[in-house]
């Protein structure tokens, strides 16, 4: 029975619906201490003094640390996309001399009880001399420290002759667009528990996620231990989305404290802390210009953007601006291109990645540009896109730029084909007619589209170990991580089909650094492509081993045998068969039947890949605006996404719908705003508005498999980020269309007050007699 | 801080005699004193609903109550939803409809809807979706949660 391609139920679910999950806060050890972080109340200042005596005097308090207590521990290093000049901007685990954002850890309290730790944290007196605050990334460059400016580096990419392109242009279209600061905000806050097992001389960390192996190596380095003396354990993770699982100061602090205090140390973040301390994302301003010919074909694009990095450069280094610069061109022909990205430090929470990083932002920018091109030359937005799309027959399509250190080569795709399918699915032509009729009746209703190219399957490697035990159960051990997306099920499906067992016989172990030496984790929509392929390779080896052993036992040629539902049987249909568990028994080290074969029905599989692969999609939105309140109702929404091959279509759709809801939050509701003194204004769920069941509409999903990736055997591309990617773009276009004001939306999130302002502008236009031709 | 009080929390039919400070939240007592970690903490200010349990048959936010306020009350948590190995129709329906991804918010959604359906078995679909909007989920986009809950509610009505 084939499991790949089927929507089988998830292996993960039963413990999670019965309250048997094991999330970070669910882990406890006897005699553990509780850590509470004292955070800076100021956005920028010089630390004058930190008074700890009152806190230390509270019964139950064991220790209070400030920067001086951890001065031997280096700052947290970059995991990805290192570029020159960023090192001085790394964050220390406790603030040294200066604080640079509200929420920066300045001290930590360790106590017998979490309530006491919190009491004691309130007693720590932090004296700070306030310094001028920078909250805008697009203003003048300031001073970070000493001679270091607030613009540590620039990202430059491009090719061709941009000057010539603009000289030859019939029109130049110019836009100034911004995306708002928001973030993943998973339902589980961060948590970490450090424990030193002196009996084994091993430092353990529970609460790992996303990239346990890299984090293990860093903690080992920072605390001067060998990686094999440090184990990271990933339990259940309550949502990742890019934010959870990066190495943060608190992770290092619990590990250091476990070593130095000799007791397990537990830290569980509260929601306010999460909203000011975990990575923010997305805040960028783009000044983009397109040189186009009379027909709306792009000749060249020039873009200058400002990336608000927040107060420090964390593990992602230049990842988000790098992707912004590399992915802004999307599915279109752009003969000449040049971009300049300013990485800017501000006195706000440091930033990292969030689902579709650099793409949610730049898809908004690029698709706004496509709509503006359409308006300029007087063609429909659909036609403007069609005239510029890269063709199916041009695949693989090479862009002479890099993304995340890999050469950008769109591996496969039929962009126009998916656009056609999407328009057919929503009944675009009839939709235009009904919109026209409703507008004539006075309704503010409109439709918009957003197209994009995603990226996934980031290498460079993945390795998997598979072993079949004598009971016939299959264990897959991977260095990938699970953040709730369904890794166990999907990997089990791939293993099951390759090996010839039921997927429920496969147990997938992930995120345990003591079970496998190497692992890349879960990010960049990489797991199904990379870990999936490594799994297939390992399973093929196990299968060959099983057939070789069984051939002896069954006195048949291995080539005449197959494995069906966990039993080796003759392909001819002869009755005799042997269970995989029995084959494993024959391969035990003590087995006499084993012969000269390597003991164990097990194998390792490795997969290497130098290139990412590139899924692609189309979003279509239909909205109705309430002119009185500025409320935007989403009447219809389609996400069409080509994932090459869907291992489990139900999970792919789940990723798309969930991703859409997050995109919707960033497009319309969620904003991490600050006042002019750098005081964060979104610190609870009452002021940071995550969409609820009321706000998220039922959407249509079209998953296609038209363009399998040639870069892995199964043809898989990542499914995790396409639902999020173009939500801001499509809704912005639909709102423009509803208002009949092309280019009205220049900023995300499009909150009701901003919509209301546009409605007023529209009325002003009407009063002035300027006719706005609605686009369709 | 003040002196600890002796209270009894009856969780899923089992009495837990515990000593807690009056300021200790109910959810902390359920998780730490009683070891029932299926109830989760997502915001501690009553918005996300991850900590939803049933108290004397009604769904409540256990982060917004003190443990001492629940002394003697009948509490039901996600650990008490299944009947032995037989899952509650809502639990099965969440699995069947892919109504969970990371699973962190799931116990809260299960207890919320179980409580609503026990109180109001004939609630309309719109009423149920309205109730669901009181909890937050960050993974699913809610559509499969809604499908799961509506299907389970229909099954539960049919089985009456």
Whole-number pLDDT of residue A765: 74
Percent of chain B whose predicted confidence (pLDDT) is above 90 = 98
Q: Does B38 touch chain A (CB under 8 A)?
A: yes
Q: Is B44 on the interface with A (CB under 8 A)?
A: yes
- Give B23's contacts (C-beta < 8 A, 6+ positions apart): A115, B1, B2, B66
Count how many domains chain A has: 3
- With contact defined as beta carbons under 8 Å apart, do A704 and A640 qualify? yes
Q: Where in chain B is the domain with CATH 1.10.150.120?
A: 89-158
A713 with A635, same domain?
yes
A149 within domain boundaries? no
3-class state of residue A492 by DSSP: helix
Residues 6 or more apart in contact with residue A145 via CB below 8 angstroms: A88, A98
> Quick one: A586 and A635 in the same domain?
no
Q: Could you tell me if A416 and A375 lie in one domain?
A: yes
Residues A444 and A484 in one domain: no
Q: Do residue A473 and residue A446 come from a single domain?
A: no
Percent of chain B residues topping a pLDDT of 70? 99
Instruction: Identify from B2, B45, B102 which residue to disrupt to test chain A contact, counting A C-beta atoms within 10 A and taking the largest count.
Output: B102
SS3 A557: coil
Does ipTM exceed 0.85? yes
Domain annotation covers residue A184 = no
Instruction: Provide the domain limits for residue A447.
Output: 284-291+299-311+353-456+614-768
3-state secondary structure labels for all residues of B54-93: EECCEEEECCCCEHHHHCCCEEECHHHCCECCECCHHHHH
Those residues with Cβ within 8 angstroms of residue A517's Cβ, 6 or more apart along the chain or in another chain: none
**Nearest Cα to Cα of residue A239 among B141, B109, B45, B78:** B141
Q: Most B CBs within 10 Å: which of A7, A11, A19, A655, as the mutation test of the B interface? A: A19
| Contact assessment for residue A474 and residue A563, using Cβ atoms and an 8 Å cutoff | no
Size of interface A-B (CB pairs under 8 A): 176
CB contact under 8 A, B98 and A237: no
Residue A92 falls inside a structural domain: yes
Rounded-to-integer distance, Cα A418 and Cα A366, Å: 18
Residue A128 belongs to a domain with what CATH number?
3.90.1170.50
Write the CATH number of the domain with boundaries B5-80. 3.10.20.30
Do residues A590 and A638 both lie within one domain?
A: no
Contact B138 A115 (CB under 8 A): no
Judge whether B36 is closer than 8 Å to chain A, CB to CB: yes
Instruction: Show residues of chain B in contact with A119, CB under 8 Å.
Output: 1
Taking alpha carbons only, the member of A664, A725, A736 closest to residue A693 is A664
Residue after which a domain boundary falls, among A608, A624, A659? A608
Is A147 part of any domain?
Answer: no
pLDDT value of position B2:
75
Nearest by CB to A661, from B81, B132, B142: name it. Answer: B142
- Closest C-alpha among A123, A104, A108, A103 to residue A34: A108
- Using a CB-CB cut-off of 8 Å, the residues of chain B touching A239 are 101-102, 104, 138-139
Return the closest-CA partner of residue A81 out of A347, A362, A307: A307
Residues of chain B with CATH 3.10.20.30: 5-80
Tokens of A750: 């499009």
Q: Which of A564, A593, A608 is the last residue of a domain?
A: A608
- Is residue A480 a contact partner of residue A487, using CB atoms and an 8 Å limit? yes
Q: For residue B142, give the chain A residue with the closest CA.
A: A693
Contact B23/A at CB under 8 A? yes
Best of B89, B141, B152 to substitute, by most chain A Cβ atoms within 10 angstroms, is B141
Token pair listed for A327? 């992915």
Say what the pLDDT of residue A632 is. Answer: 97
pLDDT score recorded for residue A503:
98
Are A433 and A483 found together in one domain? no
Residues 6+ apart with CB under 8 A from A575: none
Rounded to the nearest angstrom, the minimum Cα separation between B153 and chain A is 17
The shortest C-alpha distance from A267 to chain B (Å) reads 14
Residues A500, A430 within the same domain: no
| Two structure tokens written together for A199 | 């009996």
Secondary-structure percent of chain A, ordered helix, strand, coil, rounded to 5: 30, 25, 45
pLDDT of A775: 42
Chain A touched by B42 (CB under 8 Å): yes
Superfamily of domain B89-158: [2Fe-2S]-binding domain (1.10.150.120)
Q: Are B52 and A187 in contact (CB under 8 A)?
A: no
Task: Provide the 8-state DSSP code for A772.
Answer: P
Q: Is A568 exposed, middle or buried (0-12, 13-18, 19+ CB in 10 A)?
A: buried
Please identify which residue in the block is written with the tokens 């699982």.
Answer: A245
Q: Does some domain include residue A196?
A: yes
Based on the fold, state whether residues A123 and A65 are members of the same structural domain.
yes
Radius of gyration for the alpha carbons in chain B, expressed in angstroms and rounded: 16
Interchain contact, B141 vs A16, CB within 8 Å:
no
Is the pLDDT at B27 greater than 80? The verdict is yes
State the Rg of chain A over Cα.
Answer: 28
- Does A262 lie in the same domain as A128? yes
For the domain that residue A377 is a member of, what is the CATH number? 3.30.365.10
The answer to whether residue B1 scores a pLDDT higher than 90 is no
Answer for the pair A281, A315: CB distance below 8 angstroms, yes or no: no
Is A172 a member of any domain?
Answer: no
Coil, helix or strand for B133?
Answer: coil
Count CA atoms within 13 Å of residue A197 on its CB side.
Answer: 13
pTM for this model (two decimals): 0.97
Assigned domain for A256 exists = yes
Q: How far is CA A117 from the centre of its chain?
A: 33
Please list the ranges in chain A whose pLDDT falls under 50.
Answer: 771-776
Indicate whether A366 and A262 sit together in one domain: no
Does residue A148 form part of some domain?
A: no
Closest CA to A587 of A561, A551, A555, A549: A549
Residue corresponding to tokens 């166990």 = A488
Q: How confident is the model at residue B142 (pLDDT cuts 50, 70, 90)?
A: very high
Same domain, A543 and A635: no
Mean pLDDT of chain B: 97
Q: Which residues pair with B74 in a beta bridge?
A: B10
* Predicted pLDDT at A774: 43
């Amino acid at each position: 029975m084939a499991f790949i391609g089927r929507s089988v139920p998830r292996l993960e679910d039963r413990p999670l619906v019965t309250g048997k999950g094991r999330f970070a806060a669910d882990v406890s050890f006897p005699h553990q201490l509780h850590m509470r972080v004292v955070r800076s109340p100021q956005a920028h200042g010089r630390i004058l003094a930190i008074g700890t005596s009152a806190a230390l005097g509270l019964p139950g308090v064991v220790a209070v640390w400030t920067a001086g207590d951890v001065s031997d521990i280096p700052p947290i290093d970059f995991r990805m996309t290192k570029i020159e000049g960023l090192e001085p901007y790394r964050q220390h685990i406790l603030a040294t001399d200066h604080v640079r954002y509200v929420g920066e850890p300045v001290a930590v309290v360790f106590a017998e009880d979490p309530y006491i730790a919190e009491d004691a944290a309130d007693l720590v007196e932090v004296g700070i001399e306030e310094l001028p605050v920078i909250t805008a990334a697009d203003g003048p460059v300031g001073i970070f420290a000493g001679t270091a400016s607030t613009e540590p580096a620039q990202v430059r990419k491009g090719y061709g002759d941009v000057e010539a392109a603009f000289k030859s242009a019939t029109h130049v279209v110019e836009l100034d667009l911004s995306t708002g600061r928001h973030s993943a905000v998973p339902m589980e806050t961060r948590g970490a528990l450090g424990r030193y097992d002196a009996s084994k001389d091993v430092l353990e960390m529970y609460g790992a996620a996303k990239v346990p192996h890299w984090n293990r190596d860093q903690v080992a380095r920072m605390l001067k231990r060998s990686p094999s003396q440090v184990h990271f354990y990933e339990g259940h993770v309550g949502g990742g989305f890019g934010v959870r699982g990066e190495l943060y100061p608190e992770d290092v602090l619990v590990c250091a404290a476990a070593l130095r205090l000799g007791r397990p140390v537990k830290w569980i973040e509260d929601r306010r802390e999460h909203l000011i301390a975990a990575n923010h994302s997305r805040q960028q301003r783009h000044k983009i210009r397109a040189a186009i010919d009379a027909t709306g074909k792009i000749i060249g694009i020039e873009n200058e953007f400002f990336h608000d990095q927040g107060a420090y450069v964390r593990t992602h280094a230049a990842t988000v601006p790098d992707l912004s610069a590399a992915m802004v061109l999307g599915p279109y022909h752009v003969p000449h291109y040049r971009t300049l990205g300013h990485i800017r430090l501000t006195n706000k929470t440091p930033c990292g990645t969030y689902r579709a990083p650099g793409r949610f932002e730049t898809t908004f920018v690029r698709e706004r540009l496509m709509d503006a091109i359409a308006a300029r030359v007087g063609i429909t937005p659909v036609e403007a896109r069609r005239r510029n799309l890269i063709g199916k027959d041009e695949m693989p399509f090479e862009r002479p730029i890099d993304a995340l250190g890999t050469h950008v080569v769109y591996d496969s795709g039929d962009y126009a084909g998916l656009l056609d399918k999407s328009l057919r699915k929503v009944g675009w032509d009839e939709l235009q007619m009904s919109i026209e009729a409703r507008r004539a009746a006075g309704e503010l209703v409109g439709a918009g589209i957003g197209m994009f190219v995603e990226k996934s399957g980031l290498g460079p490697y993945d390795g998997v170990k598979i072993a079949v035990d004598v009971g016939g159960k299959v264990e897959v051990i991977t260095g990938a991580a699970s953040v709730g997306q369904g890794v166990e099920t999907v990997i089990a499906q791939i293993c099951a089909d390759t090996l010839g067992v039921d997927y429920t016989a496969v147990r997938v172990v992930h995120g345990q650094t003591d079970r496998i030496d190497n692992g890349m984790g879960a990010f960049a929509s990489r797991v199904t492509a990379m870990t999936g392929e490594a799994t297939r390779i390992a399973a093929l080896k196990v299968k060959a081993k099983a057939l070789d052993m069984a051939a002896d036992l069954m006195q048949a040629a291995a080539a005449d045998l197959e494995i069906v539902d966990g039993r080796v049987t003759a392909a001819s249909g002869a009755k005799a068969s042997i269970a995989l568990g029995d084959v494993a028994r024959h391969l035990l080290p003590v087995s006499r039947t084993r012969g000269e074969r390597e003991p164990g029905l097990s194998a390792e599989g490795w997969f290497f890949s130098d290139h990412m692969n590139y899924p692609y999609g189309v979003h279509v939105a239909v909205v109705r605006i309430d002119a009185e309140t500025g409320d935007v109702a989403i009447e219809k929404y389609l996400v069409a996404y080509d994932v090459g091959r869907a291992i489990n279509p139900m999970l792919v759709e789940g990723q798309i719908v969930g991703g859409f809801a997050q995109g919707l939050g960033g497009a319309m509701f969620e904003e991490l705003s600050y006042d002019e003194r750098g005081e964060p204004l979104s610190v609870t769920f009452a002021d940071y508005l995550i969409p609820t069941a009321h706000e998220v509409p039922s959407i249509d999903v079209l998953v296609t498999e038209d363009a399998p990736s040639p870069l892995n055997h199964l043809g898989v591309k990542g499914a995790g980020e396409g639902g999020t990617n173009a939500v801001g773009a499509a809704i912005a276009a639909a709102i423009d269309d509803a208002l009949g004001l092309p280019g009205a939306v220049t900023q995300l999130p499009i909150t009701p007050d901003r919509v209301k302002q546009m409605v007023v502008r529209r009325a002003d236009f009407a009063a002035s007699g300027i006719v706005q031709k609605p686009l369709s | 801080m003040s002196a600890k009080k002796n209270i009894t929390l009856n969780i899923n039919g089992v009495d837990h005699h515990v000593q807690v400070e009056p300021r200790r939240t109910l959810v902390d007592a359920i998780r730490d004193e009683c070891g029932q970690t299926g109830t989760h903490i997502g915001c501690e200010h009553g918005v996300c609903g991850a900590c939803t349990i049933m108290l004397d048959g009604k769904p409540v936010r256990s982060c917004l109550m003190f443990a001492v306020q629940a002394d003697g009350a009948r509490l039901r948590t996600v650990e008490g939803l299944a009947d032995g190995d037989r899952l509650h129709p809502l639990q099965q329906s969440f699995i069947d409809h892919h109504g969970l991804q990371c699973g962190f918010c799931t116990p809260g959604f299960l207890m919320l809807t179980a409580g609503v359906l026990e109180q109001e078995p004939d609630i309309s679909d719109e009423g149920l979706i309205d109730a669901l909007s009181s909890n937050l989920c960050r993974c699913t986009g809610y559509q499969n949660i809604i499908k799961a809950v509506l299907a389970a509610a229909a099954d539960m009505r049919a089985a009456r």
